A and B are shown apart, each in its own frame.
Chain A
Amino acid sequence: MLGSDLVMYDEEFKLIDAEIQRLLAQANAKVVFLVDKNGQLIAATGETENLDTTSLASLTAGNIAATGGMAKLLGEKEFSILFHEGQRDNIHISIIGQRIILVVIFDQRSSLGLVRLRVKKSADVLGGIFDQLLKKVETEKGTGKGADSPFAEITDEDIDKLFG
C-alpha cells in the first residue's frame, strides 16, 4: 500500500483540537475542520450541530483533488489555497504539509483578510503537530508496539461478527 495509514493518538488529537479552537476564536469563524486528503474528517470545531461534516470532508477532498488535477495541467504543483464566496457563508480551504486540508467557514462576523492571517499562523502549528505525529507513528512501528492496536488480537470470528 502506498504511503502509511493515517493514525491519530489522543495526545496529538488534544493539541490539534486546541489549535483549531484557537483558530476558530481568533478568526471569528463559524466552523473549522481538518480533513485528510483522502476525505477522512480528522477534527472539527464550531457551529457543527446542523452540519454534515462527513459529507463536507469528502467533498472538500474531492474539491482539492479536482483543483490539484487542474493545477498539474497548468504546470503548477497544486493550488494550496482555495476560497469560495457565498451569499452568507464563505469557505477558505488550505493545504497543510501536503497531506492535510484545513477548512474555515466564516460569515460577515469575520473577513477574508483576518482568516488568511490566522490560518497562516495555525498552519505552522498544525504542520508541526502532524510532523510530530508522523515521527511517533514511525517510531512505534519500528519498536513493534502493538499493545493498543485494534488489530493485535483480531480473529476471524471478530470480523465475521461484524457482518452479522
Chain B
Amino acid sequence: MSFINYSSREINCKIVFYGPGLCGKTTNLQWIYKKTNPDSKGKMISLATETERTLFFDFLPLALGEIRGFKTRFHLYTVPGQVFYDASRKLILKGVDGVVFVADSQIERMEANIESIENLRLNLAEQGYDLDKIPFIVQYNKRDLPNVVSLEEMKKALNPRGVPDYEAVAMDGTGVFDTLKAIAKLVIMELKKGQEGG
C-alpha cells in the first residue's frame, strides 16, 4: 500500500524480500546498502538473533530518484525465513506493494523453496492479496555453488507463470541490483495502472 504525499511530493512504496531460511534475503539488502550512494539510503535496521539470523525483519529505506517531480522512495524489508517465524512473516507482508522471492538454488533446499513460496501465497491471501496479481519477481540465488538445480528446473518449480526472474550471487552482488530495479519498475507500473483505473 503505497503512500503518495502531494504536500512533500513523495511516493513511498514497500517491497518485501521473501524466501526460506538462509536463502540470501538479508544478503541482498546488505549488498544494496553497501553499494548505494549515502545520499540515497537511510540506515539499515536489522532485528536479528545473536547468530545473525533475522528475527523480525531487516529494513532499508532507499531513494530512487524523481519521477515527474515526485521523489520516489522504496522501503525494502526482509522477512525471517525459518519456518517457525510464520507469525512474524505475516506481519511484515502487511501493506506490501511488491515481492521478491529469493530462492536458494542448492538442490537440498528445493523443498524449502517450494514450501516457502506456498507459504508466501497463503500469507498474502490471508491479507487479501493474490500472488498472481501483485508485482512479483523471482531471484535464483547462490548460482555460484556446485550443487545447484538447473535454471530450467527451478523455473518450472518456482516460476510456472513466467514472471521476471533473475540469477544471482548475492554475496558478490551479481543480479542484486537487476532484481531491485525490476521489482521497483513493476511496482511503479502497477501504481500507474491503479491511478489510471481510478
A-side residues, CB < 8 A to B, are: 1-10, 13-14, 36-40, 42, 52, 54-55, 58-59, 62, 65-66, 68-69, 141-142, 144, 146, 148-154, 158-163
Contact = CB atoms under 8 A, between A and B. Distances in A.
B43 A151 contact: no
Contacts of A9: 6-7
A59 B67 CA distance: 28
B31 interface: no
Nearest to A153: B68
A65 B4 CA distance: 22
Contacts of B47: 62
A102 B39 CA distance: 28
B174 to A, nearest CB: 17
B23 interface: no
Interface string B87-120: 1101110110100000000000000000000000
Interface string B186-197: 001111101110
B69 interface: yes
A4 B88 CA distance: 23
Given A2-B128, A62-B57, A163-B184, A8 B6 contact: yes
Contact of B188 (A38, A54, A159): A159
Given A39-B95, A159-B67, A6 B4 contact: yes
Interface stretch (B58-66, B136-144, B155-163, B164-172): B58-66
Nearest to B133: A1
A62 B92 CA distance: 7
Contacts of A163: 64-65, 181, 184-185
B82 interface: no
A81 B194 CA distance: 34
